[in-house]
Structure 1
């Protein structure tokens, strides 16, 4: 049984190309917003690259950093923490 091409959502040419409104955005055409290539990593400082490498390494090993909230400790908090240690 042959289905009408418009009813099936396919173009009659059979190219399988997406309609213009469904085309994925390509950032390469806009020079300001283009995606960074692997050879452009030199734009970061070494500290940034180390932070990224360490974060990726932690993710790979399954380490999740959960930081304590940054509050000013009262004297009683410090005493209680010292007693626990």
Structure 2
């Protein structure tokens, strides 16, 4: 049981780090495309969604809560 909790926490931390990296990459794209209003709206929306997911992940970790394996796969698949 302890091993599962620890691996879940590590998976959560890795997912949180990946979300932070994804946010950074979208922000870099936004900086290069801010002249185009349509792209600006898309990148800002994407950054907001990524930030929301990261906040939820960080909250789960701080509350020592886990998530289902399916939820973890869904988040990681959408990052890649």
Q: Is TM > 0.5 for Structure 1 vs Structure 2?
A: no
Considering Cα pairs closer than 8 Å and 6+ residues apart, tell me whether 1 or 2 has the greater RCO. 2
Which TM-score applies when normalising by structure 2? 0.30
- Flag the structure with larger Rg: 1
